[in-house]
Amino acid sequence: MPSLKSSKSSKRLSRSCKQTANQTTPGVTASRVAIIGAGHGGTALMEIFAEDPLVTVVGVAEIRPLTRGVRLAKKLGIPVVRRYHDLLKMKDVDLVIDVTGNPDVEHKLLEVQTPHLAIVGGASAKFMWQLIEARIRASVEIESTLTRYQSLFRLYVKEEAEGAVDDERTRIACEIHDGLVQTLVGVNLKMERVRELVSEDPGKGLIMLNQTTVQLKHGIQEAREVVYNLRPGQYDQLAFIPALSNYLTSYEREHLIRTTFEGDGDESQLDPKTKVFVFRMVQEALSNVAKHAKATKVAVKVHLKKDLLEAKVSDNGQGFNVSAGGQNPEKWDHFGVKSMKERARMLGGEVRWVSKPRTGTTVKISVPLAAKERNVYGQKN
């Protein structure tokens, strides 16, 4: 509790208070406050007033030299005295706040008759520092919450970036699987056959070797395209419908399966990646027809509407049980289903198979055009 004994420190305190008051913002008149008690309440007041340009704490009275409030006052450059009546004698004080809770101090303060000096004590002072302490706690909690959400946001951004990388890896894997790998598998099979024909029928072996050479050159071109595709803007000038039409012409010649093609709509609205992804899905569907369907005819239809791309690949082959195939992941993936679904997902669309045994198969691809790829990557790629 602050002492009532007099001392000669009041003059030194007054000079120090003037220096502290002069440190406020130029042009702003700060309220000069003295605090009696440097315990819990006095510490809370000093913490909040230290950040307020309109308040200057010009002195603190406390008889206990080791309290947290005394240490804080020294750190902030606030003069500390042992006897509170020295604060009452100061002329450069506008407000005295008593947070000691001591009835004797409160009684003495009631006897003070100083016109320029306002005194707050008792329940009023306690309520004041409790409000201030609550504000400090709220500020700490807000800062803690912001820090936590910043950490969560950084984690979210990291996961989004990693997800985009995974999607891009999946896209590249799909391109290699659908194009280059299939070409190399075909080359390998033909080379095995050429080795058998070297002794059996050299003439046929030479013909097949020439065919294999052409196919190998095609594989080299595919590899170059995969590398080229990794660079941005590579498909801006791709003509989607003519590319499909040309591909079907070479497909019919290579696999001896009669093809028909229908394509309409304005392809200028297509995102470059949408063109490539849909082209690869149609290519995979046609590859499955050649490998598994035992079909004699296949029809490809592409319709470009205002906000939707629809593509169908229909064959007259042997068909299969879609439900049973879906229950066998290994067999299902053998038909390139996973890569087609991944491509459709990355475009925000879907791919479905409609088939029954002995009724042929239709692959239906639908891709929304309005959203393009922004829904998946968060930005246009």
- Band of pLDDT at residue 335, cut at 50, 70 and 90: low
| CA atoms of 329 and 341, how far apart (whole Å) | 13
* Domains observed in the chain: 9-120 (3.40.50.720), 237-381 (3.30.565.10)
User: At a CB cut-off of 8 Å and minimum separation 6, what does 110 contact?
Assistant: none
Q: What is the largest CA-CA distance in the chain?
A: 127
| CA atoms of 39 and 97, how far apart (whole Å) | 13
Mind spelling out the 3-state secondary structure of 295-318?
CCEEEEEEEECCCEEEEEEEECCC
Q: How many residues does the chain have?
A: 381
* Segment 341-353 mean pLDDT: 90
Q: Which residue has the higher pLDDT, 226 or 7?
A: 226
In the chain, the amino acid numbered 205 is: G
Q: Which residue has the higher pLDDT, 147 or 236?
A: 147
Residues of the chain above pLDDT 90, percent: 14
pLDDT over 80 at 2, yes or no: no
Q: Which residue has the higher pLDDT, 106 or 286?
A: 286
- The answer to which of 8-17, 59-68, 332-341 has the lowest mean pLDDT is 8-17
Mind spelling out the 3-state secondary structure of 262-284?
EEECCHHHCCHHHHHHHHHHHHH
Q: Do residues 259 and 251 make contact, with C-beta atoms less than 8 angstroms apart?
A: yes
